Structure formats: structure tokens, C-alpha cells
Amino acid sequence: DVKVTQSSRYLVKRTGEKVFLECVQDMDHENMFWYRQDPGLGLRLIYFSYDVKMKEKGDIPEGYSVSREKKERFSLILESASTNQTSMYLCASSMDRGNEQYFGPGTRLTVT
């Protein structure tokens, strides 16, 4: 059974802080993804990675960076958090791009 975990369910940070969101998967998946979920906008892709140390920008990468030093771990970094980054962040992983993705439980981030 695929398991994708995220480091925090809820997080409150102040404007300007550096924020790290961690995601770990235990199924040896090649591909990992970070999405943000906002009401009425669905899931929007921030960054993805198809291999260790590889990363690609998604549709909304501005204000974010990522790190993938190990296959099972994919981190999302907000260099200087802003209030418009208040959102639900979902991590996902898949064996093949374009096929079933497995999601983590999400991190609800509030930036004040």
C-alpha cells in the first residue's frame, strides 16, 4: 500500500519567514509533485521531480523552490513567505508520469 506522508498537517508562519514543507513516499516512486489547492482553482502544479536531484517548474513556481536529495523525499521551500501563499499544499508521487498519482494528507499553511 502506497504511503505518502507530509511533515505537518497545519503550519502558521509569519510574512518573510523561510518555510520548509517535507514529503516522503515509501514506494520507490520516480516522480514526485507539489501542488497547491485553492477553492475553485483545483490543484495547481508548483514543481515536480522525475529523479533525484532533478526538478522542473510547474505552472506556478514563482516564490517557491524545491529540493530532492533522496529518492523518497521531496521538499518545498518558500524562501520568504507571503500572505498570498496561504493555502493547502499537497504532495504526490507516481511510478510513471501521466499515470496514477498518490497524494499525501496535505499541509494547510497560513501566513500572517
Partner 1 sequence: GENVEQHPSTLSVQEGDSAVIKCTYSDSASNYFPWYKQELGKRPQLIIDIRSNVGEKKDQRIAVTLNKTAKHFSLHITETQPEDSAVYFCADGGEGQNFVFGPGTRLSVLP
Residues at the site binding partner 1, with contacts judged by CB under 8 A: 4, 33, 35, 40-45, 48, 58-59, 90, 96-101, 103-106
Distance of CA 70 to the CA centre of its chain: 15
Q: Which residue, among 29, 26, 7, has the nearest Cα to 75 in the 3D structure?
A: 7
Least distance to partner 1, CB of residue 96, Å: 7
Q: Which residue, among 39, 50, 35, has the nearest Cα to 105 in the 3D structure?
A: 35
Instruction: Choose between 75 and 93: whose C-beta lies nearer to partner 1.
Output: 93
Instruction: Choose between 3 and 18: whose C-beta lies nearer to partner 1.
Output: 3
Least distance to partner 1, CB of residue 45, Å: 6
Instruction: Choose between 6 and 81: whose C-beta lies nearer to partner 1.
Output: 6
> Alpha-carbon distance 92 to 94, whole Å?
7
Instruction: Choose between 7 and 103: whose C-beta lies nearer to partner 1.
Output: 103
> Alpha-carbon distance 29 to 74, whole Å?
11
Least distance to partner 1, CB of residue 97, Å: 6
| Residue 9 burial (10 A CB sphere; 0-12, 13-18, 19+) | exposed
Least distance to partner 1, CB of residue 39, Å: 8
